[in-house]
Structure 1
């Protein structure tokens, strides 16, 4: 329930009071002339118990959003005596000059000594030993934080251990918390987010006799920068938005001119997209989408990623024998994902800053997975290097991991890990509908064209997630102990019910966990409600119950309190055993 890694806006923290970013929040005024900004400041000063505040807490405003009904949402990160607080983020909601609620998961005010009994070097050794990464290749210097995610806040050392995951090839950047007083490991969380679990990937490769030995190496800086918690992991690894190695990031060989390219893709047939023309031909750098690029890892797992270039601006031949074919899929997929978020939510790229990201293809040998590492997408070539994982919903899935980081810093274990994965499945599906290809017709299946199982079945089903043999249809108290790729089934199921209803539909036969009947409201409304709930109410440790509550409030804001849409949200979540 921790370790989100979204980049943080600059703000000014004032001891014991709420501080606001220089750009300032919205200033909706009530009858008294009090702005939402002023109301939140006053509320935090007079109601510290509402956010489990301590006298030594400082708050930093890192973002403000506004709902359709005029409610402003003020997102804060917290420090305690200058130390980042894990699980201390919160959002305060205000409308018409009055505070109307707050979202956050910290249960108790912090009262801990900030003097550790365990040395940083000892905690680093403990973290490396207990990180459970395959062939650990390094670890950052340990940094003191306060862990407020549990019932009792504790002083902890945070270390990022690098290596690979259980499949022997997917990078692992495992953030580990070690109790700074006892030396015991508290918990850990993976920072690299993949399409499927490492176990599923390993099993898929093992069926074809593929085993990997770790070759990944990661440079470690000598010192962890002093930053707020959500940026600790990524900046400790020496990067901007996230923990990637940055070897695929291209700005283009030259500035050049925009050009209209054509491509023969692997999964979508003929497509068109923008490229950049220079003195040496054309390159896969998208001038219409912030400089999104596509590059070739040449079946390696480290080193430079070679930007795709072409003489005639006609890319790929529709088969895997042309290396540009897979690049055509992901390059087009990145543009479609950008366009979907822009049209639906006026979002300008993953980080809403107009900046594109690289898509790396042909990663490793026989690699059956894809991942987002905080700053770029990476795609394997699949079984026998003949089935690249480059489908449109896969591209949308991976890019949406970046969006959820930027929106709410969602973590990757417990309930919130499932929410994180479900969010990517939801919006990967919405991107597939945006593309509306006649070759890969849109549906509510995940990875149906990449043949993970070797028998034509999809990776995941949204109508009845348990059909894949691993995912969960219904929430229970044990849900948080499962892999995020399996607990995502709860969110996927709720979204499908909200969009399409229970029972038979065009997209499948979806049962409910309590034998109730749910009437769908359509995918576009369901997606809008979901997105706005993450944007306005999401926190790094949010639970499925938190998401339910946030979606009801988002439906109220979009369609009216007690509306058909709001009632449908409640019904869909109840149908998967998530109650208020």
Structure 2
């Protein structure tokens, strides 16, 4: 793509204090400096306004020298929610394209009619749960809608009705006082020692020997990630220790058993991202996250929290549900962390569905990567946590079904313009569906009484199956290079096609297959 320069003065922000702008510019990496220049020269392509500032957040340089620099945006010092941009340059440093979702420029009066006290009152009235602290408000620009608006982001912490911690972000119009949007920061799953796990049999564990004797369930080879015992509380917790480096009993009677599953899930997720995608830890910084097991009592859920950079697992109810520490659930939760450190897909609307689906996709790929005979890979989400599936060779009960999302009774198979109004665990279905079709084609899994035509929305059953590895690489590149916080389903189609073009070329069978798969779920 050839860009013509449409010069607009755009401020360049530096998160460095006590130095000049020139010195701060020098402190940026060379790709970030070039990308900053492109934002100045081609500002109209990203709907930049006077008063906009762009702060570099991450850089990816491909093997061929192509550069992709991700920026957050502020306007007159206010964060722009949904205003992030990725600048793509070729190996010669020339601008090629920009990824973003803003459709109009903004010239807003930043003086609110409503004060923060009124905004907090409005947000708290919409909060469904028990608050545990005073809410706090920050003035922002909300740019996820048709037109940017001055707003307050109100953060309310507490506990949801089902016992899940809640860190609710509510966006209140700074003039009208109504709710523009809201989402929860807590992203749920809807849910060389030896470990005896609940779901995966005997598994190897790398632990940390202690100077005082014994071992800690901490892995120095994987960023020192570790696992703690919440002892059925909702705060605190202590790292698991053991005298003989043999952990768990394979039953829920031993509290270490769930810890083995959670740790094994951490290990497989770390290894998958590192060995398949070259990602060194969840945040790509070489540091481990951590897991918390035995959270609360009879808690039937699991969740990722950015604030603690950790995974948390409930024990289930002991009747219908086991502890929620299955391998695909673990991969799902940690992928929320990967998403937050890359595209940062907002947990609301279509972007929220894509966020959830991305976790299902990579949770599934982690399960296949592990190659564990006790938990063979499949396209069912969370099937191991159902007590009724125990001993069933090909279980059909699951939280979600990637090949036919509507089997859960709530998720759509095909895209419609109203999908963004659904809970994100249901709007995720279309993205799960398209990934399955990319990877496997219109092939009915064993144990399900379906026909190939029931797996597509347009009758196209002759789809090319790319295989899991190729489909996974395309989705990962789309997530880390092309998607932004407000990407919708149409944008996800474009992002995956761009990724396929980068990896295999626009004339490749892979590129064509990605396009056909999206059409087969009615995203054209």
**What TM-score do the two structures reach when normalised by structure 1?**
0.81
Structure 1 residue 495: Cα displacement = 0.4
Cα separation, 2, equivalents of 1:69 and 1:542 = 26
Residues 70 and 556 (structure 1), Cα distance of their counterparts in 2 relative to 1, 3 Å cut: farther
Give the equivalent residue in structure 1 for 2:213. 280
Cα separation, 2, equivalents of 1:25 and 1:425 = 36
Q: How many residues align?
A: 495
Give the equivalent residue in structure 1 for 2:27. 22
Give the equivalent residue in structure 2 for 1:488. 428
1:502 aligns with 2:442: yes
Cα separation, 2, equivalents of 1:70 and 1:496 = 31
1:540 aligns with 2:472: no
Write the deviation string for residues 244-284 of structure 1: whole angstroms up to 9, x where unpaired: xxxxxxxxxxxxxxxx2101000000001110111131110
Structure 1 residue 12: Cα displacement = 5.7
Residues 435 and 65 (structure 1), Cα distance of their counterparts in 2 relative to 1, 3 Å cut: same
Give the equivalent residue in structure 1 for 2:504. 559
Residue of 299, 313, 327 corresponding to 2:259: 327
SS in 2 for 1:359: strand
Query: Which stretch has the larger CA shift, 555-564 or 391-400?
Result: 555-564
Give the equivalent residue in structure 2 for 1:434. 369
Structure 1 residue 389: Cα displacement = 0.7
Write the deviation string for residues 350-380 of structure 1: whole angstroms up to 9, x where unpaired: 1111111111111111111100011110001
Structure 2 counterparts to residues 354-433 of structure 1, below 5 A = 354-374=286-306, 375-384=309-318, 387-433=322-368
SS in 2 for 1:45: helix
Cα separation, 1, equivalents of 2:258 and 2:70 = 39
Structure 1 residue 417: Cα displacement = 0.6
Cα separation, 2, equivalents of 1:367 and 1:400 = 21
Give the equivalent residue in structure 2 for 1:266. 198
Residue of 204, 224, 242 corresponding to 1:291: 224
Cα separation, 2, equivalents of 1:404 and 1:535 = 8
Structure 1 residue 15: Cα displacement = 13
Q: Which consecutive unaligned segments of at least 5 residues does structure 1 have? A: 1-8, 27-35, 198-259
CA contact (8 A) 2:67 2:93 kept: no
CA contact (8 A) 2:141 2:150 kept: yes
CA contact (8 A) 1:337 1:396 kept: yes
1:193 aligns with 2:187: yes
Cα separation, 2, equivalents of 1:73 and 1:563 = 23
1:140 aligns with 2:135: yes
Give the equivalent residue in structure 2 for 1:119. 115
Structure 2 counterparts to residues 182-331 of structure 1, below 5 A = 182-196=176-190, 260-278=192-210, 279-302=212-235, 304-331=236-263
Residues 544 and 574 (structure 1), Cα distance of their counterparts in 2 relative to 1, 3 Å cut: same
CA contact (8 A) 2:14 2:21 kept: no
Q: Which has the higher contact order (CA 8 A, sep 6+)?
A: 1
Residues 526 and 20 (structure 1), Cα distance of their counterparts in 2 relative to 1, 3 Å cut: farther
Residue of 171, 175, 198 corresponding to 1:177: 171
Structure 1 residue 45: Cα displacement = 2.1
SS in 2 for 1:159: strand
SS in 2 for 1:294: strand
SS in 2 for 1:550: helix
SS in 2 for 1:350: coil
CA contact (8 A) 1:25 1:64 kept: no
Give the equivalent residue in structure 2 for 1:578. 523
Cα separation, 2, equivalents of 1:513 and 1:139 = 48
Q: Which consecutive unaligned segments of at least 5 residues does structure 2 have? A: 1-12
Query: Which stretch has the larger CA shift, 444-453 or 538-547?
Result: 444-453
Cα separation, 2, equivalents of 1:265 and 1:185 = 45
Cα separation, 2, equivalents of 1:366 and 1:522 = 39
Structure 1 residue 448: Cα displacement = 1.1
CA contact (8 A) 1:281 1:311 kept: yes
CA contact (8 A) 1:452 1:458 kept: no
**What TM-score do the two structures reach when normalised by structure 2?**
0.90
1:519 aligns with 2:464: yes
